[in-house]
């Protein structure tokens, strides 16, 4: 398993050992740490479902939001990812796990990151973030500017799920232009995240704005809708597009592989 280290190089050897298959760059598999799997039994069940669906690995990205989950820091997530990895080994389950985090953006998060460290995806410079504010305040741009200036690669998770507001599309274009990557959620295709999310996720896909698509795996029971969303995207956009955003893009952009 890959360990988190600030500004570390991606572990190319680990990525190269992966069989060709899907990688979920956004998941809540670590048990009892946020709103994902509640215990290790659920974690294992979810991973078995992922394997059946063609996944070969997941980046564990628990919520990092001090007000809601004050114990969630990069070192703790790294340790708990190792524990889950050991459980898979003990059960004879072949599935790759990496440490990461989903950083909730709020005014003041940069100060917290300076003290507690920046959780990156699988030892890459990539930092998964999410935003739930209804508007785009100046501090949002300042957080992205700080990450980019410090040689991190910010990824904004599921922007289609943000509360709809005037100017959302323009702001998404602005942050993409400044260098932020976007990651969409498959379940947004099903309508379960609302009409606006369904429309925006399609627009972003068709205009090739997403760098990745993810399941955003939570508990096992929620995977049905997420897999349904993936199938809808295959039907509407083609298998090659889904493969690019789930199989090849993670290898290139996170693990630094040529394929």
What would the pLDDT profile of 153-185 be if each residue is shown by its tens digit? 999 999 999 887 777 888 999 999 999 999 999
- pTM, two decimals, is 0.92
Torsion angle of alpha carbons 67, 68, 74, 79, nearest 10°?
140
User: What pLDDT, on a 0 to 100 scale, did the predictor assign at position 7?
Assistant: 44
CA 17 to chain centre: 21
What would the pLDDT profile of 191-235 be if each residue is shown by its tens digit? 999 999 999 999 999 999 999 999 999 999 999 999 999 999 999
Give strand pairing partners of 127. Answer: 154
Query: What domains are there in the chain, each with its CATH number?
Result: 12-253 (3.20.20.140)
In angstroms, how far is the first alpha carbon of the chain from the final one? 20
User: What pLDDT, on a 0 to 100 scale, did the predictor assign at position 3?
Assistant: 31
What would the pLDDT profile of 39-83 be if each residue is shown by its tens digit? 999 999 999 999 999 999 999 999 999 999 999 999 999 999 999
Instruction: Give the position of tokens 């946020």.
Output: 34
Q: Cβ neighbours of residue 244 under 8 Å, at least 6 residues apart?
A: none
């Amino acid at each position: 398993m890959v360990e988190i280290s600030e500004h570390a190089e991606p572990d190319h050897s680990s990525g190269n050992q992966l069989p060709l298959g899907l990688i979920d760059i956004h998941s809540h598999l670590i048990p009892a740490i946020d709103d994902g799997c509640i215990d290790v039994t659920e974690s294992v069940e979810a991973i078995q479902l992922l394997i059946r669906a063609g996944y070969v690995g997941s980046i564990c990205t628990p919520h990092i939001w001090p007000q809601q989950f004050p114990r969630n820091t990069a070192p703790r997530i790294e340790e708990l990812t190792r524990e889950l990895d050991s459980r898979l080994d003990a059960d004879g389950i072949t599935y790759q796990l990496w440490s990461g985090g989903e950083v909730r953006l709020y005014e003041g998060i940069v100060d917290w990151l300076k003290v507690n460290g920046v959780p990156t995806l699988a030892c890459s410079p990539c930092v998964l973030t999410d935003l739930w504010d209804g508007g785009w305040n100046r501090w949002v741009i300042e957080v992205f500017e700080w990450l980019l200036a410090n040689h991190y690669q910010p990824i904004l998770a599921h922007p289609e799920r943000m509360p709809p507001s005037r100017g959302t599309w323009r702001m998404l274009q602005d942050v993409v232009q400044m260098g932020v990557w976007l990651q969409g959620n498959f379940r947004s295709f099903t309508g379960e995240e609302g009409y606006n999310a369904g429309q925006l996720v399609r627009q972003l896909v068709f205009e090739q704005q997403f760098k990745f698509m993810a399941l955003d795996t939570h508990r096992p029971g929620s995977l049905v809708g997420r897999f349904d969303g993936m199938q809808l995207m295959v039907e509407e956009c083609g298998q090659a597009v889904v493969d690019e955003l789930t199989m090849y893009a993670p290898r290139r952009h996170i693990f630094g592989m040529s394929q």
